[in-house]
C-alpha cells in the first residue's frame, strides 16, 4: 500500500523539497521525557539507557539476560525504533537483590548512562513526552521556503497521523488485521495480536483524519466534535460555545478522532456520521476491534510541535529540534516539510 493510502493528504501543501532522514543513527535522536521523581531506594532498579541501532525489546532482552532475571521483570515506558539513537528508561524488579553487574550488556549499541532505585516499576506510557533532534541530509529545497513552512507548522501544528511504521513493511500489519477481521478471529500469539489490533485501529483513525484534512477542518472544532487537551486522554463534547474556546487557537485544545472499540462513535451530529461511515468502509475491522474487547478512545487530530527550532549546519543539512506528546510520530511533521521517498517512518 502507498503512503497516501495509509496516511492521507498533507495539510500545508506539497513538500518544499526532498531529504534523507536516518542516513546514520545519530540523524534521528529521541529522548524520553519522564516527570517522575525517583526516590533512590526501593526494590526496582531504574536504568537510563542510550541505544544505537537497537530496538527497545532487544535491549530489554539483553538487560534481562545479563542481570540474570526473567524478561517479565523488565519494564519500559514505550517502544523506540531500531534505526536511531535513543535514550529511554528501563526498570528491573530486584526484590532483595543487589544491583547486578551490567557491564556485559554494554557495547557500542547499548550504554547505561544512569541508574537509581525506586519503590515502583516503570509503567507503560509513564513518560510525558519525547524530545527529538532530527538531522535531514542531502537536502534539496529553498531555505526561505523551508523556513516559511516551518513557521507555519510551528503556528498551526500538523495532522496527527499514525506513521507508516504502525502498519508494518508494505502495510503487512494492516493486511494481517484485515484477514483476521474477515474470519472473525484473533491471533493466538500475544505480540502479533497486539500489533494487528493496533494497525487496524490506527488505519481507521487515519482515514477519519484524512477526510477531515481533505475537508479543511482537521484543526477546527465543529459542533458534535469531541475535544481533548494535548496531554489528556479524557474528552468532552463541543457545542457552539466550545467551538469558540480560545485554547483552540493556541494549540492547547483539539478536535479528536476515534480509536475504535466497543460501541459506536460517541461524537455528535455530522462528526458521528463521518466516523461511522469510515468504520463501515473499513470492512470488518471496526466490529473485530469491538469483539476483541477494545475500549473506544480518542486521539487528537492536530499535533502541536512544541519547542520547534531549526538551523542549517550546512547548505544541504537541516537540523530540527522539538518535543511531541507520547504516541505521536515525528515524521508526521517532517512529511509536511519535505519528501522522504523510500524512508521508513518512526
Q: How far apart are CA 226 and CA 247, in angstroms?
A: 14
Q: How far apart are CA 197 and CA 200, in angstroms?
A: 5
Of 167, 85, 166, the closest CA to residue 131 belongs to 85
Q: Is 125 left (phi over 0), alpha (psi -120 to 50) or beta?
A: left
Q: How far apart are CA 188 and CA 157, in angstroms?
A: 39
C-alpha cell recorded at residue 32 = 524520553
C-alpha cell recorded at residue 285 = 475491522
Catalytic residue among 27, 31, 81, 345: 81
Q: Are 26 and 84 in contact (CB under 8 A)?
A: no
Cell match 463521518: residue? Answer: 274
81 belongs to the catalytic site:
yes
Q: How far is CA 206 from CA 200, 300, 314, in A?
A: 10, 11, 35
Q: Which residues pair with 318 in a beta bridge?
A: 136
Q: How far apart are CA 123 and CA 91, in angstroms?
A: 9
Q: How far is CA 189 from CA 125, 186, 220, 343, in A?
A: 22, 9, 41, 29
C-alpha cell recorded at residue 305 = 510541535
Q: Are 33 and 130 in contact (CB under 8 A)?
A: yes
List residues with catalytic annotation.
81
Amino acid at each position: 500500500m502507498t503512503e497516501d493510502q495509509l496516511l492521507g493528504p498533507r495539510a500545508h501543501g506539497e513538500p518544499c523539497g526532498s531529504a534523507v532522514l536516518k542516513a546514520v543513527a545519530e540523524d534521528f535522536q529521541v529522548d524520553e521525557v519522564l516527570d517522575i521523581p525517583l526516590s533512590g531506594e526501593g526494590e526496582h532498579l531504574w536504568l537510563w539507557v542510550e541505544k544505537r541501532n537497537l530496538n527497545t525489546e532487544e535491549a530489554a532482552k539483553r538487560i534481562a539476560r545479563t542481570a540474570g532475571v526473567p524478561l517479565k521483570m523488565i519494564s519500559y515506558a514505550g517502544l523506540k525504533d531500531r534505526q536511531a539513537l535513543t535514550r529511554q528508561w528501563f526498570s528491573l524488579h530486584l526484590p532483595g537483590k543487589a544491583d547486578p553487574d551490567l557491564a556485559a550488556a554494554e557495547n557500542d549499541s547499548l550504554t547505561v548512562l544512569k541508574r537509581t532505585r525506586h519503590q515502583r516499576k516503570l509503567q507503560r506510557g509513564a513518560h510525558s513526552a519525547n524530545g527529538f533532534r532530527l538531522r535531514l541530509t542531502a537536502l534539496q529545497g529553498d531555505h526561505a521556503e523551508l523556513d516559511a513552512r516551518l513557521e507555519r507548522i510551528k503556528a498551526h501544528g500538523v495532522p496527527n497521523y499514525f506513521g507508516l511504521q504502525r502498519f508494518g513493511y508494505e502495510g503487512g500489519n494492516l493486511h494481517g488485521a484485515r484477514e483476521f477481521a474477515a474470519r472473525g478471529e484473533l491471533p493466538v500469539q500475544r505480540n502479533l495480536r497486539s500489533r494487528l489490533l493496533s494497525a487496524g485501529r490506527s488505519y481507521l483513525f487515519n482515514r477519519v483524519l484524512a477526510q477531515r484534512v481533505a475537508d479543511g477542518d482537521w484543526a477546527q472544532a465543529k459542533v458534535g466534535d469531541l475535544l481533548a487537551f494535548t496531554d489528556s486522554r479524557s474528552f468532552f463534547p463541543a457545542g457552539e460555545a466550545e467551538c469558540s474556546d480560545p485554547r483552540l487557537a493556541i494549540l492547547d485544545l483539539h478536535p479528536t478522532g476515534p480509536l475504535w472499540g466497543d460501541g459506536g462513535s460517541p461524537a455528535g451530529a455530522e462528526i458521528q456520521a463521518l466516523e461511522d461511515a469510515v468504520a463501515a468502509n473499513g470492512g470488518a475491522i471496526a466490529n473485530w476491534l469491538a469483539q476483541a474487547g477494545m475500549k473506544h478512545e480518542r486521539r487528537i487530530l492536530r499535533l502541536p510541535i512544541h519547542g520547534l527550532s531549526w538551523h542549517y549546519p550546512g547548505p544541504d543539512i537541516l537540523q530540527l529540534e522539538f518535543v511531541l506528546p507520547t504516541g505521536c510520530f515525528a515524521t508526521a511533521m517532517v512529511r509536511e516539510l519535505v519528501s522522504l521517498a523510500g524512508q521508513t517512518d518512526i
